[in-house]
Chain A
Amino acid sequence: MEHSPVSESLRTPPPPAPSGAQAGGPSKEDAYEPVIGLEIHVQLATATKMFCGCELSFGEPPNTRTCPVCLGLPGSLPVANARAVHFGLMIGMAVGSELAPRSIFHRKNYFYPDLPKGYQISQYDEPLCLGGSLGGIRIHRVHLEEDAAKLTHVGASGRIHGSDASIVDFNRGGTPLAEIVTEPDVRSAEQASEWLKLLRTTLRQLGVSDVNMEEGSLRCDANISLRPVGSSELGVKTELKNMNSFRFIERGIRAEIARQEKILQGGGQVTQETLHFDPGSGAITSLRSKEEAHDYRYFPEPDLLPVAIDQQMIDAARADMVELPAARAQRFERDLGLSAESAQLLAFRAELGDYFEAALAAVPQGESPPPAQTLANWVAGELVPRLSDTGGDGSEEGGSDPSSSRVEPSSLASLVEMLAAKRISVGAARQVLDTLVVSGGRPQEIVDAEGLAAMDGGDELAGIVAAALAANADAAQRVREGNAKAIGPIVGHVMRETKGRADGTEVARLVNEQLGT
């Protein structure tokens, strides 16, 4: 869980990134650029634990998913989970890591009640995957390790110091973890949060983890330092531990950047330490200083053999690879002609991309497919906003999954196609979607039932336009005099009369025609 043995100062400086601190900030001498590296722990969705045969636990009664191995009983020995290695390789492939032909497990020694053996089996200087990048952020390494047990402290303090008692649930202990360490390439709190969402989608697409922050299957630490803008050296870093939601990560990093900025601008020096961000109070407190840092006495785990990766394992991992968000965005842009923004929006939120593709594929027989860009706009811009009133702090999903709504993908496809063919107006389409979200159904039936079909440009509409001009004589006069904006009340009148079925462009054309303008 700690920093990798490679010192940050030895790494090549990352490519320059735009600095948020510069714009409108203090003078150049005082402007600082945040340098952020992330360490992410992902619980792997294997059937059994990392080093024993116990099933993973999902809220079972305490200490019911345990055995001599994950309880650290005397005489027990670990055996590495091949599925976890498989998932680790998939993660490595997804970020373009170099897969180590031979990697080894190390023991990381320290005492804590959630660590039954007195050491965590992790990887140290020979990890499973080295290097790579994702979404413009370089990956330093990916390695495998085991999760700790869950501690609950009884008493007022809520922490181990000052508690009346502490109880340990070993169900979680030994759950396989992949630790993904980035290079210090992140430059802002917002970028950290955005990038983590991309990582989460990637891992979810791979099927290697539930990646649920609230449930702790995705956890993030951030190493943060500041340096003068333009400098390529790294400042003293602090480590912000275990933030468990995207919102807290963003707030925590922002708070730590502000804290360090204040220290540096006051002429002070940042102290290397491990910090805790309290999302309740917004306070940052020290967990331990550099001097108090553990000496983990890493050494190769003698109970396990080196992990030797052969071609068969690589082939098996490759066979399980799926299209990842970055590649999907490219495909949306290239093959479907989506704008870059839409392509990323749909690809980086896999549930939107899946819904979008399902809708494209679900065009009923005899109907032509809706234009892809319009469909994309309607998925992201119309449907999702109608679904995201489900509460929560929005930190996890930032909206709801349309596949669990009442709107069938084929329905949205039909609706967008009707709109594109001008068989309904935009306003009518929105009304239909409102109905679909509430009660489902087929768009054509709703259009028929509610009489929302677009009026063609025939006599009926011309008559209504004429009536509207008569009722809005002042406005009509001003339009004649060249005030184009004055057309609003006239069109509004027509729309009221037609209950939105009229096409706005056609109405405007008729108005101008009848006024001779």
Chain B
Amino acid sequence: MAITLKPVDVAVVGLGAAGGVAVLPLCRAGLKVAGIEAGTWMDPHKDFKADEIHNNTRGLITTGNKIRREAPTIRNSPTGPSRRGGPSPMMNAIGGTSIHYHAQSWRLKPWDFKTVSETTKRYGRSYIPQGSTVEDWPISYDDLEPYYDIAEIEVGVSGKAGNIKGKLDKEGNIFEGPRQREYPMPHLRTCDYLEMMKKAARSLGWNPFHSPAAINSVPYNGHGACGYHGYCDRGGCHLQAKNSTCFSTIPKAQATKNLTIFDRAQVTRIVADANGKVMGVSYIFNDLEYFQPAKAVLVGSYTYENVRLLLLSKSKAFPNGLGNNKGQVGKHYFGHWDAQAGASASALFPMDLNIWYGAILSQGVVIDEWADDSFDHSGLGFIGGASMTVNTEKHPIAAAGGSTWGQVPRNWGSDWKRWIHQNAGRSASAYIQTNTFPYETTFLDLDPEAKDPLGDPVIRVTTMTRENERKAAMHAQDKAVEWFQAAGAVMTTKGNPNGPNLSTHTYGGTRMGDNPDTSVVDKWGFAHEAPNLGMLGGSVFGTSGARNPTLTIQALAWRTAEHLAKNWKSIAG
């Protein structure tokens, strides 16, 4: 028998990158909010260490025990068997994945929101990838711009604008959509390696710029600036200079006194009445079941868990899962084609790069010439492309164990030791992120066999390789190699982008759209079939862009929460 708690206005499921932002506009509007999070607070002094074994080898920040047991399965055909899918970036903590992410904080391009109409206009309908279910988003870049702006300020993003109200600045990204103003902080520190790569890019006629990052380049939000110590990847920030929501928006929401955090509370079902109205959420805390009544529910628990929660929440009104009467929950899923899909390029240089220290992709330089629709695709046989980031931060175990480029016969012994003594600090990679689209045969559903410890099925990912994305990634790899060669690399190598593993960037499953036959939520993020249920996170995306998703997730979360507060009576009344 569940313990029923005092009703609140809004229950927010998950206090990570998305829910951790949404609580702030809700609380500021005076709504009483329950933030229900499966994890708990992490301690920057005790938990966040400059320790490769802790963060990277063992992944102790990225994956708690709970998540290991809830990790999705994967299969590479719509009829084949599934297998456990390996490491997942989902984590349980206040701050969620924003604790350990690389913090590159991008706005998507205007093209990403209108891929179908823009592609059709420029190249013709035949350029839309075959089998893809991609459609234009129901909103434009301009609709989201004010929310990008507020997310950059409230979360805290450093960077250099390349387009302020149409005025281009070559120090920033000239391919970005128009912004209303400069970033709240200047871009992170440069270094010799990044300057060398900028010079090489300019020699090719390209326009290099520094990564936008949710990391303080100067003191901001009550926290100090980045220490560039080189343990940002898969680690939390000991200086609280990485603007995870646990250091930025969640404390601000707490200051309103309208947020109650229920930590170590695992939401298992969203409860709806016979008319399809959402009544609250059920969660498990300390082996006991609780029911938190709420007038509206926002779900921000990572793409897999968002979909799983809806599919598990069956009721009279929703026999196939909440908001799934048209069978759209889980459809239009796609994982980003990045290094995890095999897209990469690496180089060996003849000198010490001294990139041990740094802040992973956030202390990086980016090329956007070969992403999105920045270049003419006529006759290329694909749409989209990829952004390419070169960056700092090398860890000693990985550096010692890396490729020897065929230069020594064995990867052990004295010859090898001499080689790594000289070369462990001389290689670098480009991080390639490809525009990725949903397809008819890429989707999420409940695994018929694999279950979590509570006995609920885990998510099953169905995905496979894609010709369009493969060509776009290979095109970008060639450009990255050209870039390294222009910088004086003595050897270069390319990846084999053949897709479809689990990515840390996962999209779709509760797609946003105007048409209830092809989407789950409307243009504000609320379910077509359950109007007091909002979805937050990558699960609402219709395209990925060629860049990290988090700032877009946060801008959308703010917009959805603000819409709820402004239309409280009509949505929750």
Check if A and B associate. no
